[in-house]
Amino acid sequence: MQPVRREPNPLWRARLFSVLVTLLASLPLGFAQAPSGYYPATPGLAWTYDNGETQSLSGPIETETGPRMRLTHAFDGVPVSEEILSFEPDGSVLHHGTAAGGTVMPYDPPLLVYPAPPLQPGDGWQSSTRAGGVDVTLATEVLGLLGVATPAGRFNALHLRQTTLTSTGGRTMLDLFYVPTVGIVRFVTQDGTTIDLIERIP
């Protein structure tokens, strides 16, 4: 049975990305020997999806605690939210907060989006933070490797499942299909909506 494909509400997507990574929706499989760009971190990268969303990476900006990158989420060319990320010396990726509607919501401590590479089926990680007075836990597991066909091409993608839990009782699950050095080529939301990559620039 094919997953249902429909257009998610852009405001719903913005709220989802405020607590998820997403890559890092958003970001575009070894330890210290992992190839450079395993989690793509080059300013100017952009990913466009078939729901009308474009994610673009910019920066770095210098802060008291180190350089930060910005992952901007836009729908039909209109920015709706921004993730503040850091790419650590060990290769891991941290999420420091979200900006939307002129308000910045810092994460204290930052959430671990991706651990040091490479990722392997069976891997799992979890981190917790406090944001806007709410405790948030992000747990991710690598379920396997799967062939994925999208408008942007065919890929062997790592199937990641992210579960977000909040102290208010919220629970959200998102399946991500991540290709090292490329980024996320498919999202599948909790209700079965499939969102595919159309293009990555450059």
Instruction: Give the model confidence (pLDDT) of 102-161 as tens digits.
Output: 898 999 999 999 999 999 999 999 999 999 899 999 999 999 999 999 999 999 999 999
Query: Which top CATH class is 10-201?
Result: mainly beta
Give me the pLDDT at residue 53, please: 97
Q: What is the pTM of this model?
A: 0.82
pLDDT of residue 161: 98
Distance CA 108, CA 111 (A): 8
Q: State residue 181 phi and psi, 5-degree precision.
A: 75, -10
Q: How large is the C-alpha radius of gyration of the chain?
A: 16
Q: How many CB atoms lie within 10 A of CB 60?
A: 16
User: How far is it, in rounded angstroms, from Cα 22 to Cα 93?
Assistant: 11
Q: What is the pLDDT of residues 7-63, one digit of tens each?
A: 444 443 344 334 333 333 333 322 223 346 899 999 999 999 999 999 999 999 888
For residues 77 and 196, what is the distance between their CA atoms, to the nearest angstrom?
18
